[in-house]
Structures are given as structure tokens and as C-alpha cells.
Amino acid sequence: MLMRTDPFRELDRLAQQFTGVTGTRSRPSAMPMDAYREGEEYVIVFDLPGVAEEALDIDVERNMLTVKAERHPVGRAESVQMELSERPFGAFSRQLVLADTLDTERITADYDAGVLTLRIPIAERAKPRKITIGGQSGRKQIDS
């Protein structure tokens, strides 16, 4: 699986720490994720604490997987005076270029306790298979 990375992501993260400004719709923040292979599928896990399920948008076009989320600040009464605010809010987005060996037609998504888990099966055509050789000398099987 290939992932598109943003070389300026770390600089954006540092700028967010100093200014307190998080992602906007025009320049969304990246969301932390893990990606690994488990048996016959790839698993991608995103941390999205405080994001409502309705605020998630998962899209796949050809081999480009896009995950978007938006976290809104908690509504506060006028009498509340904020002393400290470290929890990020705003728009978050992540794009991944998926390998041709993955079956993008059968992606599943689960969302529980602020963690989005995507499971992408390996396409049947990408799995190892036996090939039979035919001819006058007989048939022979080899591993592909």
C-alpha cells in the first residue's frame, strides 16, 4: 500500500502548537493513523476523538482513498471563561493512494470511541495461485 505524505506536515503541527489554530476547510489538518496488514486484508486506523460519526466522510475514487472529518468546538455559555484550550477542532483530512492489489469495492468501515477502522481486502487477482502448464510432455503445476 502506498501513502501520500506531506513533507510540511510536521511544520504545520508545530505552527498549530504555537498559534492554537487548527485545520480549516481550505487547509485541513492531518489525522494520526496506523496502517498494517492483517492476514488477507489491510487495516487502517484513524484517531478522531470527539468527532461525531455524522461528521465523517469516506470516499474512494479509483485508487485514491480520502477520509475527511470535522470537529466543532463545544458550545459554551457567555459566562464561561476559557482558561486552557488544547483540544484541536476544525477540519481534518487524509488521502492515501491504494495499491492495485487491494479490492476497493469491498472496503468496510467501523467507528467506535473516536477510532475509525477501515478494512481493505486483498484482491483475488493479487493472491498467489497455482498455474498448470499444458503441452505434449504432460501437465505440470508451478507456484506463481
Pairwise CA distance, residues 133 & 141, whole Å: 6
Work out the percent of the chain whose per-residue pLDDT is above 90. Answer: 40
What mean pLDDT comes out for the span 32-50? 93
How do the domains of the chain map onto residue ranges? Answer: 9-74+86-143
Taking only the tens place, the pLDDT of each residue in 48-77 is 988 999 999 999 998 999 999 998 877 777
- The pLDDT value recorded for residue 76 is 74
What pTM does this model have?
0.68
Task: Using only the alpha carbons of the chain, give its radius of gyration.
Answer: 22
Residue 108 contacts by C-beta under 8 Å, 6 or more apart in sequence?
118, 119
- The pLDDT value recorded for residue 46 is 96
Higher pLDDT, 55 or 130: 55
Which range (56-65, 85-94, 110-119) has the least confidence? 85-94
Q: What's the topology of domain 9-74+86-143?
A: Immunoglobulin-like (2.60.40)
Q: Which residues pair with residue 117 across a beta bridge?
A: 45, 110
For the record, the C-alpha cell of 78 comes out as: 457567555
- pLDDT bracket for residue 110 (50, 70, 90): very high
